[in-house]
Amino acid sequence: MTHSQSILYIGPDSGTCRARRLALGRLGHRVKAVDPFAALPLGSLARSWSFKTGGFGFGALVRSHIAACAGDQAFDLAYIDSGELIDGKTVQMLRRFAPIVVNYNPDNPYVRRDGGRWRAFLGAVAHYDCLFVPRESNVAQAKLAGARRVHRVWFAADDPLRDPDRLPSEEAKKPYLSSISFVGTWMPERGAFLLKLAQAGLPLQIFGPRWNKALEYTALEPLITLGELTPQAYDAAVAAADISIALLSQGNRDQHTTRSMEIPVLGSLLCGQRTPEHLQLYEEGREALFWSDAQECIDHCRQLLTDPARRRRIAQAGRARALRNDHFNESLMSSMLNLALSAQAAPSTRAVA
């Protein structure tokens, strides 16, 4: 168990990044949070430019903002979550405040899905003491990019969801009640897949942003509740579904993702893509259902709709297994912190741990 540490936490104050920061506080660490996006000019144009160029032209602004927020404090460790705006010069500057600088990036900056978004991050890889990645393929990719040490971790759900009394209430779930749902952002491959489910007559509901960009939007529009969801609304939407479809990002080459942990913990039945990592997480047919194509997914859903008792058994077993797996933010952050502090012992090594 790591003793209480003083941590300079640099990451967006939203979504799963914020959840990981709060987990550090629950673990008893003293956390100074800095959102690098607060350094950008106000307005959507700056955010769009940053996404497309990897923060090109914003490096000095980000460094000035972090330095002003950190002041004259000294920290045991600087932890960067994502690192979209953090270039090599910024990592070097952070050593004025902390002897160890590490990064966890839940995205996949080593593929081309997001264009130039990860320009700054990739230029900073070799400057970190340690990188944490959620994909086995990222280990070799990070090493090729110059990483000193790389540790592979699992995605994680948030700890309050362990407690049945902290799950979404029946009232919170009412706007999202569905037999089958997908909760998430549109991506090109997702529209075609979900259209097949809809055309098969399944009672599908879709919740999430950017679905108006789908080529299939006209056909899917009656099934879509469009827009960003707050973390609370996301949890309620997942928990309100009898069956939750788990689609992975092909562009990110995911074999599991955060929703692979969240769906069972929230009490819904996980019906996801069959991958080696999903099969490590859950026993197929007893704790979750998996498919290799749309037709197999359709067949699973049809059977479950006629057998609610089986659906409930699988959902309950899935939640129990997710709790045993212990892939939650506090465990993730504790593990990463222990590994990060060990980086101090061998700062020059470039071996993959």
pTM score: 0.91
Q: What is the dihedral sign for C-alpha 331, 337, 338, 343?
A: positive
With contact defined as beta carbons under 8 Å apart, do 246 and 270 qualify? yes
For 347, the token pair is 């700062």
Query: Within a 10 A sphere around the Cβ of 223, how many other Cβ atoms?
Result: 21
Collapsed DSSP state (helix, strand, coil) of residue 83: coil
With contact defined as beta carbons under 8 Å apart, do 6 and 75 qualify? yes
Q: Is 54 exposed, middle or buried (0-12, 13-18, 19+ CB in 10 A)?
A: buried
Please report the pLDDT score of residue 342 as a whole number.
82
Amino acid at 162: R
Query: Rounded distance, CA 292 to CA 294, Å?
Result: 7
What residues of the chain score a pLDDT lower than 70? 1-2, 343-353
Query: Within a 10 A sphere around the Cβ of 123, how many other Cβ atoms?
Result: 18
Which among 320, 236, 338 is positioned nearest to 281, based on CA atoms? 320
Residue given tokens 């090493």 in the structure block: 143
- Written in H, E and C, the secondary structure of 138-160 is HHHHHHHCCCCCEEECCCCECHH
Domains present along the chain, CATH in parentheses: 6-156+329-345 (3.40.50.2000), 159-325 (3.40.50.2000)
Please report the pLDDT score of residue 343 as a whole number.
64
How does pLDDT run across 111-151, given as a tens digit for each residue? 888 788 999 999 999 999 999 999 999 999 999 999 999 99
Please report the pLDDT score of residue 1 as a whole number.
52
